[in-house]
Amino acid sequence: MPQFELVSEFAPSGDQPTAIAALVRGIKEEKKSQVLLGATGTGKTFTMANVIQQCQRPALVLCHNKTLAAQLYGEFKDFFPNNAVSYFVSYYDYYQPEAYIPQRDIYIEKDSSINEEIDRLRLLATSALVSRRDVIVVASVSCIYGLGSPKDYLEMMIPLHVATEINRDDFLRRLVEIHYERNDIELSRGKFRVRGDVIEIWPAYEEFCYRVELWGDEIEKLSIIHPVSGESSKPLTDVYIYPAKHFVLPQSRVDAALEEIELELNQQLAKFQAEGKLLEAQRLAARTRHDIELLREIGFCPGIENYSRALANRKKGEPPATLYDFFPDDFLLFVDESHATVPQIRAMYNGDQARKSTLVDHGFRLPMALDNRPLKFEEWNNRRHQTVFVTATPADWELDQAEGEIVEQIIRPTGLVDPVIHIHPARGQVPHLIEQIKERAERGERTLVTALTKRLSEDLVGYLK
Whether the per-residue pLDDT at 263 is higher than 70: the answer is yes
Class of domain 158-241: alpha beta
Mean pLDDT of 220-246: 91
Q: In the chain, which residues fall in CATH 3.40.50.300?
A: 16-151+319-409
Q: pLDDT tens for residues 395-434?
A: 999 999 999 889 998 887 777 777 888 898 988 899 999 9
- Classify domain 16-151+319-409 by CATH number: 3.40.50.300
Mean pLDDT over each residue of the chain, to the nearest integer: 92
Q: In the chain, which residues fall in CATH 3.30.2060.10?
A: 158-241
What HEC string does the chain produce?
Answer: CCCCCCCCCCCCCCCHHHHHHHHHHHHHCCCCEEEEEECCCCCHHHHHHHHHHHHCCCEEEEECCHHHHHHHHHHHHHHCCCCEEEEECCCEEEEECCEEECCCCEEECCEEEECHHHHHHHHHHHHHHCCCCCEEEEEEHHHHECCCCHHHHHHCCEEEECCCECCHHHHHHHHHHCCCEECCCCCCCCEEEEECCEEEEECCCCCCEEEEEEECCEEEEEEEECCCCCCEEEEECEEEECCCCCCCCCHHHHHHHHHHHHHHHHHHHHHHHHCCCHHHHHHHHHHHHHHHHHHHHHCCCCCHHHHHHHHCCCCCCCCCCCHHHHCCCCCEEEEECHHHHHHHHHHHHHHHHHHHHHHHHCCCCCHHHHHCCECCHHHHHHHCCCEEEEECCCCHHHHHHCCCCEEEECCCCCCCCCCCCCCCCCCCHHHHHHHHHHHHHHCCCCCCCCCCCHHHHHHHHHHHC
Whether the per-residue pLDDT at 343 is higher than 80: the answer is yes
Model confidence at 80, pLDDT cuts 50, 70, 90, reads: very high
Q: pLDDT tens for residues 126-169?
A: 999 999 999 999 999 999 998 888 998 999 999 999 999 999 99
Least confident of 79-88, 247-256, 316-325: 247-256
- pTM comes to 0.85
